[in-house]
Amino acid sequence: MLELAPVRAAVVRCFGDPRVLDGLPAAGAATARVARDEAWLVSPSAARDALTQAAKSYLAGADPDGIVVDQTDGWSAWTITGPQAAMVLARLSTIELPSQRPAFVQGAVAEVPAKALAQAADRLHLIVPAQYAHHVSRRITQACADLDVKVLESREIAL
């Protein structure tokens, strides 16, 4: 069985010099290095303002050319739990999950750009651009139909 829960997650995008981003403090959030010059901070949505502020303070000192943008509204997220959580990627994506946890991977899932934070063997967070949310949730239930997908109520992301 798979549980699919829509979650509210803060997404704070930090752009700056690669070495400066290497030292970006996580401040309790999950970090994802999506590019050399871009790092994401992901946390429960309630923490979005504090997270943005903290990131801005850090960059203001370390890289004044860098910018921090709270893009929480631009992304939709789900948490998938269950022993076969990784099957969501196996059915909908060519992305190979590394064995270590936590792991961050990105690529096309259900044909749209996505980021995945594999937290544990049985827990995976999936983040996609908000304009595709309806499509992705439908595809997950379709592709994993044989695995008995249970859709839960929306909640804050638990990292």
CB of 157 to another protein, least distance (A): 15
Nearest residue (CB) to another protein, 15 versus 26: 15
C-alpha span between 120 and 6 (Å, rounded): 18
C-alpha span between 115 and 76 (Å, rounded): 11
The DSSP H or E segment spanning 33 is strand 30-35
Site residues for another protein, window 86-145 (CB under 8 A)? Answer: 89-94, 96, 110-112, 129-135, 138-139, 142-143
Nearest residue (CB) to another protein, 134 versus 155: 134
Cβ atoms 146, 122 nearer than 8 A: no
DSSP-derived 3-state class of residue 135: helix
Residues that bind another protein (CB under 8 A): 13, 15-16, 37, 64-67, 69, 71-75, 89-94, 96, 110-112, 129-135, 138-139, 142-143
